[in-house]
Structure 1
């Protein structure tokens, strides 16, 4: 008789727990921040892309495991959620899809901040810059051939027909404008090492202090380096009618496609900080740039990952603080 009672009690407990879980309201996500990697722990050691965001929004939160995601999701009581999605198109987009489809989260009105480090051409940017993406271009979708197999000096890329709907995304200009305006007075971090490294490049943009810019983010699984491929990236941006190429990164266009198929792209921002140049200086070859000697790296990584959060957080905070103005779409700037 006792065993029967025990079995009944266990069954009732399980039934009650299942009903409680099923009836729990999903987390209403107001802003989702996606980074691509963290170096070690989320706090207390050398910071990667996620740590400064974690320290600002999720220090007192519990990790929430999501089947299919690269790392757990963290959510604040204010509706700010975030996760490390993994590097590269496949890693990051698979994580984003798993999180979006998880019934524990309601993304129906969410905004997205896709934030990480990147490279920049020395003709347009410098170490420590943070760039709000105006366009996302997929670098890999098309046809390429060896330069010696084409016309001398001609481009070695043409778009592949059929990829028009997902090789190019224009991000919401109104949302980008909000991000730029709210970060206008951010004091950018810099380092002595980065300042010295910049002087190796003759370009005025490369030698300048870090600043906030806007431009095209070029998404490619290939870590392309050298002036030839940098020029090709700019050629692609012009070919597609996008803004100048300022950032080379590995995830944003793929993540945007996943979000687009569920909720559109009007609430996405792509925010990248430049930690390297996409080519060597005039006194080094591309291979030397790819494999620098000890002590010859760019410097400024720690400052750049901090800059990214400093630049992006004002937009996150404004969206959440004025949620009634934002939940139905990006408001006009003169309405607040």
Structure 2
């Protein structure tokens, strides 16, 4: 009796595994259709969230991409946050990872291991909103990052319990206090992506005309101590701090600048604060090792929906609570992400016969000789 039950248990587990494989490989009831060979993908657009429906209502990060890039072919993706959408004519694939490094890492890993797609030549474009340091840019601006720094892997002591000679209670793992001269081993605190590709994307898009908003234009004039915050939205290069905690305020903004400077050994500059990009980079690094993706083809574009410090005349608490769930610059920043990011995507697709096997910056270097 026990042996029979055990066999039935093994059979049930086997059937479950087979059903899962059928779903992933395109044979399940929710699949986009039978797949005989992996679909070659040219560009993966990585968004982090959507609001409501994917089309026809208030836009989140994904909606403009889905509509304007005509991502019409749906692929069930039950092993992650959100289904995948492909334009079968252009080879552009859109994904929504969910918010936070845990979801971005797991979603990118799940896609990278999905047998329905050939991602060996794919470029990856992260396109999302974030908080910006007003010292660097204005609401609606777009920043290309080369350095991605993690804001979670650390020791922390509450500021009310700091030793008198400590400048902060936040300091690296496996260290004896704030900012030791000898950096501890990198456990995922910092990722450097392909600087040549980042520079190429920046040069391609730096003169992109970004939208503006009358209310935001009026409000930015109050940032008299921050000339860059008073500018119309523009494209720049600047690096990203990724952390699961939505932090805000002058003191934490100073920490963010120093933390990025520390882990990049002075080569990076904090501009944008978000939650996911180190998770995306970590998974792509592992997928690269496995021959499933090319880490050197990752690009990260963040646009400013809000600032990381209070508006003049407001406390950090007042500023955070006023912006917490309804960023004044949300729609402007989403439009900027698409205008800037789509120039890169369209250029890669149009020149795919060349860019499939050669990086665009390498092609331009040869043409310039």
Q: After TM superposition, is the score higher than 0.5?
A: yes
| 1:171-217 Cα shifts (integer Å, max 9, x gaps) | 21111112112213311001011112212322111111110011110
Q: In 1, Cα distance between the equivalents of 2:348 and 2:195?
A: 16
Shift of 1:156: 2.5
Is 1:35 the counterpart of 2:47 in the alignment?
A: yes
Match in the other structure for 2:281: 256
Shift of 1:163: 5.6
Is 1:308 the counterpart of 2:334 in the alignment?
A: no
Is 1:283 the counterpart of 2:313 in the alignment?
A: yes
The 1:313/1:28 distance shift into structure 2, 3 A limit, reads same
> After superposition, where does 1:38-77 map in structure 2 within 5 Å?
38-59=50-71, 61-77=72-88
Shift of 1:244: 1.1
Of residues 77, 86, 95 in structure 2, which corresponds to 1:83?
95
| Alignment coverage as a number of residue pairs | 317
Is 1:270 the counterpart of 2:300 in the alignment?
A: yes
C-alpha RMSD of the superposition: 2.3
The 3-state SS of whatever aligns with 1:199 is helix
| 1:141 and 1:163 in contact (8 A); partners too | no
| 1:138 and 1:168 in contact (8 A); partners too | yes
The 1:293/1:63 distance shift into structure 2, 3 A limit, reads closer
Of residues 62, 85, 96 in structure 1, which corresponds to 2:108?
96
In structure 1, stretches of 5+ residues that fail to align are 1-16
Shift of 1:324: 2.8
Which deviates the most, 326-335 or 166-175?
Answer: 326-335
The 3-state SS of whatever aligns with 1:187 is coil
Q: In 2, Cα distance between the equivalents of 1:46 and 1:73?
A: 20
In structure 2, stretches of 5+ residues that fail to align are 1-25, 28-32, 175-183, 289-293
Shift of 1:155: 2.9
Q: In 2, Cα distance between the equivalents of 1:123 and 1:108?
A: 39
Q: In 2, Cα distance between the equivalents of 1:131 and 1:257?
A: 21
Q: In 2, Cα distance between the equivalents of 1:292 and 1:81?
A: 35
Of residues 200, 203, 209 in structure 2, which corresponds to 1:181?
203
| 1:283-321 Cα shifts (integer Å, max 9, x gaps) | 111101111299xx7623212101101101111112122
The 3-state SS of whatever aligns with 1:229 is helix
Match in the other structure for 2:255: 232
Q: In 2, Cα distance between the equivalents of 1:244 and 1:116?
A: 18
| 1:1-38 Cα shifts (integer Å, max 9, x gaps) | xxxxxxxxxxxxxxxx97xx887011111110010111
The 1:123/1:33 distance shift into structure 2, 3 A limit, reads same
Match in the other structure for 2:190: 168
Which deviates the most, 77-86 or 158-167?
Answer: 158-167
| 1:66 and 1:102 in contact (8 A); partners too | no
Q: Which runs of 4+ in 1 moved over 6 A?
A: none
The 1:259/1:142 distance shift into structure 2, 3 A limit, reads same
The 1:288/1:93 distance shift into structure 2, 3 A limit, reads same
Match in the other structure for 2:172: 159
The 1:25/1:173 distance shift into structure 2, 3 A limit, reads same
Q: In 1, Cα distance between the equivalents of 2:165 and 2:142?
A: 36
| 1:190 and 1:304 in contact (8 A); partners too | no
| 1:120-161 Cα shifts (integer Å, max 9, x gaps) | 111112210111111100011111212231336713322214
> After superposition, where does 1:182-261 map in structure 2 within 5 Å?
182-202=204-224, 203-240=226-263, 241=265, 242-261=267-286
| 1:221-249 Cα shifts (integer Å, max 9, x gaps) | 01110011111011111111241100000
| 1:193 and 1:300 in contact (8 A); partners too | no
